[in-house]
Amino acid sequence: MQITTFPHPAEEAIELKLTGRFDAHESEIFRIALTDALGNGNHHIRVNLANVEFVDSTALAELVRGMKRCREARGDLTLVSPSDPVRVILELTKLDAAFSIV
């Protein structure tokens, strides 16, 4: 999985754009990227999932953990444009009710 980090132009947020499979093997690099983004003092994180072809339960747990970290810091973690396979999993697990999704 590749992660590209950049400031979101329209909002005061950092966007992490993920590409590839997001599973247990990739959760560590996501955690590091998120920690780096939060370390800069910005607690509004956008995770772009448009190019993610698969997420497993470990990856979902990593997103939930990230969401809680952001909300504890009075920010939020927003899921952006989840791909069809990711959207299906979010709906099946009802996690779409827990995340902000745009």
Partner 1 sequence: MTSTDSPLESLTGALIEANDQLLALYELAKVSTSSLDVHASVGEILSRAKRLLDAESMLLFAEDGLILGEESDVASAGDRSIDDVRGGTTRTLTASTTASVQASNSSGLQATLIARRADRPFGTADHKLLSAVANMALGALHTSRLHQEAVDQAVVSRDHDTASELAVGALPKWRPDVPGFDLFARSDPARSAGGDLFTFAYVEEVLHFVVGDVSGKGLPAAMMMTNVISAAMAAFQTVGTSGPAAVVSAIDSWVYEYLSDAGLFVTLVGGSFDPASGVLRLANAGHSPVLFVRDGSADLVDASVPPIGVLPFEMLGEDALTESVYETTPGDRLIVSSDGFTEQENPSGEMLGDDEFARLICEDPGPTDDLGSRLFTMLERHADTAEQSDDRTLLILGVSATPKATDS
Contacts to partner 1 by CB under 8 A: 24, 56-58, 60-61, 64-65, 68, 89, 92-95, 97-98
Q: Which of helix, strand or coil describes residue 91? A: helix
Dihedral of the alpha carbons of 52, 54, 60, 66, in degrees to the nearest 10: -20
CA-nearest of 92, 84, 97, 83 to 48 is 83
CB of 29 to partner 1, least distance (A): 16
Query: Would you say 7 or 24 has its CB closer to partner 1?
Result: 24
H or E stretch covering 66: helix 57-72
CB of 91 to partner 1, least distance (A): 9
Query: Would you say 9 or 72 has its CB closer to partner 1?
Result: 72
CB of 33 to partner 1, least distance (A): 16
